[in-house]
Chain A
């Protein structure tokens, strides 16, 4: 049973470019969470999605950031016109139901130059 998959593992973008981060949840999981983590800091909630629905996006900046979890395919976190402050590790996690345990992917380390 494959775990949560994220790709790419490392992503380098220049300021102003777009970053697309992908997350495939564990089999049977329909709940996906995205978190951002800066070095030596905690996990900051960004968005919580169920299949085709955004349930809570209160942790996501209003501009430049968007997320989706289509009926088919992975969940995608999209960052437009990246700035240096977007550099961080982005983790996604999946769970079978709301409020249950979350299983984390290996993360995508985004570096903006």
Chain B
């Protein structure tokens, strides 16, 4: 039931790109992405509500393939401030029952200079 995130961890040099994937076995209503730095609260990045939707701001964007129940987060030209743990959160379709948001186990991203 928990969405599967991959990779579990990634190390980048400043300026490199990364893709983080999130895959669910259930039909999804929405996918959210958050970043959490050590000892801090998760911070909302973006939400995708429609199949095939893509969203983005600055150098972080995401896509949502409703049919495959998958979402990907794209980090381009990474900066040191991108370091942290990235979580996807999934909400099930209303007709499948359930109202809880389930989070993946997280992807640890470390950007080095």
Contacts and interface: CB of A to CB of B under 8 A. Distances in A.
Interface of A: 33, 35, 41-45, 48, 55-56, 58-59, 91, 93, 98-107
A42 B29 CA distance: 21
Nearest to A57: B100
Given A33-B101, A42-B104, A42-B106, A99 B43 contact: no
B99 A43 contact: no
Contacts of A105: 41
B5 to A, nearest CB: 9
A106 B41 contact: yes
B100 A99 contact: no
Contacts, number: 58
B72 interface: no
- Chain B residues touching A, range: 20 to 34
19 contacts: A33-B101, A42-B106, A44-B103, A48-B99, A56-B98, A58-B98, A59-B100, A93-B42, A98-B91, A98-B99, A99-B30, A99-B49, A101-B32, A101-B47, A102-B44, A102-B101, A103-B44, A104-B42, A105-B41
A56 B100 contact: yes
B100 A43 contact: no
A45 B102 contact: yes
Contacts of B101: 33, 45, 48, 102
Contacts of B103: 35, 42-45
Nearest to B43: A104
B41 A100 contact: no
Contacts of A106: 40-41
Interface centre among A43, A48, A56, A58 (most CB of B within 10 A): A43
B105 A42 contact: yes
A56 B91 CA distance: 13
Interface string B43-86: 11011010000000000000000000000000000000000000
B87 A45 contact: no
A93 B98 CA distance: 18
Contacts of B30: 99-100
